[in-house]
Amino acid sequence: MTAVPAVPVPVSIPALATPSVWPASAVLAPDGDVAVAGVPLMDVAERYGTPAYVLDEGEVRARARAWRRALPDADVVYAAKAFLSRAVVDWIAEEGLGLGVCSAVELELAASRGFPADRIVLHGDAKSPQDLATALRLGVGRVVIESPCEIARLASRVPGPEAQQVMVRVSPGAAAGGHRALRGGGEGRPFGMSVATGDAEDAVARILGQPRLQLVGVHTFLGSQITAPEPYVRGVRRVVAFLARIRERFGVTLPEVDLGGGFAVAYLPGDPAPTPAAYGRRIQDALVRCCAEFDLPVPRLTVEPGRSVVGPAGVALYRVLAVWRSAGGCTFVAVDGGVGDNPRPALYGARYSVRLIGRASAAPTRATTVVGRHCEAGDVLAEGAELPEDVRPGDVLAVPASGAYHVSMASGYDMTGRPPVVAVSGARSRLLVRREGFDDHRARDVGL
Among residues 248, 274, 305, the one where a domain terminates is: 305
Q: How confident is the model at residue 4 (pLDDT cuts 50, 70, 90)?
A: very low
- Residue closest to 193 by CA, chosen among 170, 175, 215: 170
Last residue of a domain, one of 305, 337, 369: 305
Gap between the Cα atoms of 53 and 402, Å rounded: 8
Within this chain, do residues 298 and 323 fall inside the same structural domain, yes or no?
no
Could you list the beta-strand ranges (E) of 3-103: 4-5, 27-28, 34-36, 39-40, 52-56, 75-79, 98-101
Q: What is the pTM of this model?
A: 0.92
Domain span holding position 100: 71-305
Q: What is the pLDDT of residue 448?
A: 78
**Marked catalytic residue, from 102, 149, 330, 375:** 375
Report which of 405, 399, 401 is spatially closest to residue 313, judged by C-alpha positions: 401
Specify whether 93 is located in the same domain as 120. yes
How does residue 325 score in pLDDT terms, banded at 50, 70 and 90? very high
The rounded percent of the chain whose pLDDT value lies above 90 is: 88
Per-residue pLDDT tens digits for 222-233: 999 999 999 999
pLDDT tens figures, 370-422? 999 998 999 999 999 999 999 999 999 999 999 999 999 999 899 999 999 99
Q: What is the mean pLDDT of residues 189-213?
A: 91
> What would the pLDDT profile of 269-323 be if each residue is shown by its tens digit?
999 999 999 999 999 999 999 999 999 999 999 999 999 999 999 999 999 999 9
Is position 375 annotated as part of the catalytic site? yes
The reply to whether omega before 161 is within 30° of 0 (cis) is yes
104 & 196 share domain = yes
* Residue 340, pLDDT score: 96
First to last CA, the chain: 34
Please report, for the domain that includes residue 282, its CATH number. Answer: 3.20.20.10
Furthest C-alpha separation in the chain: 72
Number of independent structural domains in the chain: 2
